[in-house]
Structure 1
Amino acid sequence: MRLTPREASPRRYLMCPPTHFKVTYSINPWMDPTKPVDLPLALAQWEDLQARYVSLGHTVELLDPDPALPDMVFAANGATVVDGRVLGAKFAYPERTDEAAAHRDWFSRNGYPEVWVPEHVNEGEGDFAVTASWILAGRGFRSSPLAHHEAQEFFGRPVIGLELVDPRYYHLDTALSVLDAEGDEVMYYPDAFSAGSRAVLARLFPDALLATEGDAAALGLNAVSDGRHVLLPQAAVGLFAPLRERGFEPLGMDLSELLKGGGSVKCCTQELRS
């Protein structure tokens, strides 16, 4: 049991309301166009997440939804922001291609001086996770390994490549979550990664919280932490006690309608790191 209390730090997030959210195509194993989306429920669940961030003292900026882009609610995929510098996204599937420009336009309009248009496929914070020491970078299903070098050159931070091997965990943010960026503290699901990547994670994070298959399958690792509060899917019940033992306050969120698109708390939340 951790005795030193955790401290939350105020964050800025970029989110996009699911005004036009629907599942009409399938680009990941969670998406089934035959299962209807309850749009009013999806909106209510998203608004609950937004309100929770505000109640915790965080700032939420809004990206305008586009009726032609139903996946824009998953705002984490649109860019990666570190030290106020913006590495734009380049999506793997044509259905989401135009989201990248919408994100870049938002950053340009909102005073970000460095907005990089990438050469190689990366899906923003879907596959980039930022800690104090490293940028962890997923590959295997969406982002290109070449994007890792591009990110390292742009941000000037060491990038650690991690191979994803289970298609259910097609983005890094479905298999790993940063709990305390300043302390390089994470939680992850080992079986989502290749043997070599598991060894790298064990070496970098020997005290990491390891998720079970059940909690990973509930997208429990698609979580957001402010250093104290950890917002995660409420169905990932096995993570709550281990998080409390480490001094965190887990806050369960119901984003079951958005799960039909393959995303949860983190997918809806892009962090704007100044």
Structure 2
Amino acid sequence: MKIPPNLRVCVFAEQALNSTPKDEELEPSWFRNLAWYFFEQWFSKHGYECVGDLDIAFEGAGDALWGGAGNRTLFTGVGPRTDVRALRDLTERLDDGSSWKALGCRLVDPRFYHIDTAFCPLNEELAIYYPYAFDHITQHNMHNETDLLAVSDKEARNFACNAVVVGRNVVMHHQNDEIANKLEKLGFSVK
């Protein structure tokens, strides 16, 4: 039996939306239902309302990243592991009355199966991304929400965008010197 991947959760305000993987082989429905039970128990105990539709594939935090002005845009990867219907589910279930939006970002290169493998918001104004992981309409829409700094194909394949950002500190996979140098010139510290 294959070990199922880690549960990924999208938390917003007082709500938690559990991941619902598409791939029955990676995460069989019996496991998903059991995991959902424990997920609800833990989050409910800690004051969160658990929401989400088990019938709509949503990969969770791996396909949902906040960015853009005021961090009010939820860049949501759709394609290999997240169903486009998750956009509506997200916006309806996580509606807290504030003005935010979910932006569907269609992933078209199978090497980049989650948005966090090809896109990384650095702050409210800037993100790094691999343009060819996304269709042309998505590239255009992403440019409308934030400034984008492209990474090379080589560095994208080395998961340069699969980074962690804390303030002006960026932790990324090693051997991504080209993008690391660009970020350092912009005042970021890259580790």
What's the counterpart of residue 215 of structure 1? Answer: 155
What's the counterpart of residue 139 of structure 1? Answer: 78
Distance 1:150 1:226 in 2: 29
Give the drift of 1:238: 1.9
Task: Give the TM-score of the pair, scaled to structure 1.
Answer: 0.60
Give the drift of 1:184: 4.0
Question: In structure 2, what residue type is equivalent to 1:89?
Answer: S
Distance 1:103 1:174 in 2: 25
Distance 2:41 2:156 in 1: 34
Task: Give the TM-score of the pair, scaled to structure 2.
Answer: 0.84
Indicate which of 226, 229, 236 corresponds to 2:166: 226
Q: How big is each residue's C-alpha offset from its partner over 1:183-216, in whole Å with a ceiling of 9 and x where there is no partner?
A: 24211110111011111122222x3221111110
Local SS of the residue matching 2:90? helix
Alignment CA distance shift 1:103-1:175 (3 Å): farther
**1:83 equivalenced with 2:13 (yes/no):** yes
Distance 1:136 1:216 in 2: 18
Question: In structure 1, what residue type is equivalent to 2:187?
Answer: G
Structure 2 portions without partners, runs of 5+: none
How many residue pairs are counted as aligned between the two chains?
177
Q: Report if the CA contact (8 A) 1:133-1:184 is conserved.
A: no
Indicate which of 28, 41, 66 corresponds to 1:130: 66
Structure 1 portions without partners, runs of 5+: 1-23, 26-67, 252-274
Distance 1:171 1:217 in 2: 13
**1:158 equivalenced with 2:94 (yes/no):** no
Question: RCO (CA 8 Å, sep 6+): is it higher in 1 or 2?
Answer: 1
Alignment CA distance shift 1:141-1:211 (3 Å): same
Identity %: 25
